């Protein structure tokens, strides 16, 4: 079941999509979109629907600039305010959830985790380790301070995460697991010669995400509460 919801964020609101599996549900997932496309982009919807099929309720949402139809992302503070409001919305319906995101959305989730936003873990699809063509401008200083387990998926040919920098700055993180997607770019597109489609890659990542979430253990979180 999918329904549209409104996420209030102090001044204004944004639209969310709340997907709930049939029957019993597992750990919730807050899934944030990347800079160039909103929550209804196939990259987000494919992962969200696959996670629901694996028993996880999923909340997606638009950042304010995307909701307003603007091209360029909001300032970091505005993005975090919106992301925090979405986490609060989900927290009122799930006792336990992980924060996930594509590219910029994952980056914002990692900042929130460092700032103390409660979550069971982080799943970071195509984390933008640096801007394209600017490997010296790293976005990794805060990652060692993330207090929860992390799962990274990164394309072997991602121009925003060069392989040698992934090895140094992601694979060495104490709480991180890193999966390299062969031949994939930042959008997880792969060459036709591989015989694999982007959709196949996204579904595969969702399946591995679900297994990883199940391996986190419930800890002291108590029973799930889904509304």
pLDDT in tens, the chain (227 residues): 899 999 999 889 999 999 999 876 789 999 999 999 999 999 999 999 999 999 999 999 999 999 999 999 999 999 999 999 999 999 999 989 999 999 999 999 999 999 999 999 999 999 999 999 999 999 999 999 999 999 999 999 999 999 999 999 999 999 999 999 999 999 999 999 999 999 999 999 999 999 999 999 744 333 333 33
What are the sequence ranges of the domains in the chain? 2-215
The Cα 189–Cα 103 span in angstroms is: 14
Dihedral angle sign, alpha carbons of residues 186, 189, 192, 195: positive
- Alpha-carbon Rg for the chain, nearest whole angstrom, is 16
**Beta-carbon count within 10 A of 39 CB:** 22
The Cα 141–Cα 138 span in angstroms is: 8
CA 182 to chain centre: 20
Q: Residue 42: which H helix or E strand, with range?
A: helix 42-53
- Dihedral angle computed from the Cα positions of residues 166, 170, 172 and 173, in that order, rounded to the nearest 10 degrees: 180
User: E strands, the chain, where?
Assistant: 2-8, 13-19, 28-32, 58-61, 97-102, 122-125, 150-155, 176-181
Predicted TM-score of the model (pTM): 0.93
Domain 2-215 class? alpha beta
**Beta-carbon count within 10 A of 203 CB:** 17
């Amino acid at each position: 079941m999918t329904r549209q919801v409104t996420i209030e964020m102090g001044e204004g609101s944004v639209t969310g999509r709340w997907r709930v599996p049939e029957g019993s549900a597992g750990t919730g997932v807050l899934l944030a979109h990347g800079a160039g496309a909103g929550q209804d982009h196939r990259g987000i919807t494919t992962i969200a629907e696959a996670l629901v099929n694996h028993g996880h309720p999923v909340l997606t949402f638009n950042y304010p600039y995307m909701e307003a139809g603007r091209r360029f992302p909001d300032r970091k503070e505005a993005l975090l305010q919106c992301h925090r409001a979405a986490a609060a919305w989900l927290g009122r319906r799930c006792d336990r959830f992980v924060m996930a995101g594509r590219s910029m959305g994952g980056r914002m989730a990692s900042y929130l985790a460092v700032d103390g936003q409660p979550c069971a873990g982080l799943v970071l699809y195509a984390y933008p380790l640096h801007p394209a063509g600017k490997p010296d401008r790293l976005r990794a200083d805060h990652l060692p301070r993330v207090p929860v387990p992390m799962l990274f998926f990164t394309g072997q040919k991602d121009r925003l995460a060069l392989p040698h920098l992934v090895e140094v700055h992601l694979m060495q993180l104490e709480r991180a697991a890193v999966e390299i997607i062969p031949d994939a770019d930042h959008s997880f597109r792969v060459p036709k010669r591989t015989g694999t489609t982007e959709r196949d890659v996204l579904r595969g990542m969702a399946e591995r995400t679900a297994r990883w979430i199940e391996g986190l253990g419930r800890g002291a979180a108590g029973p799930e509460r889904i509304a």
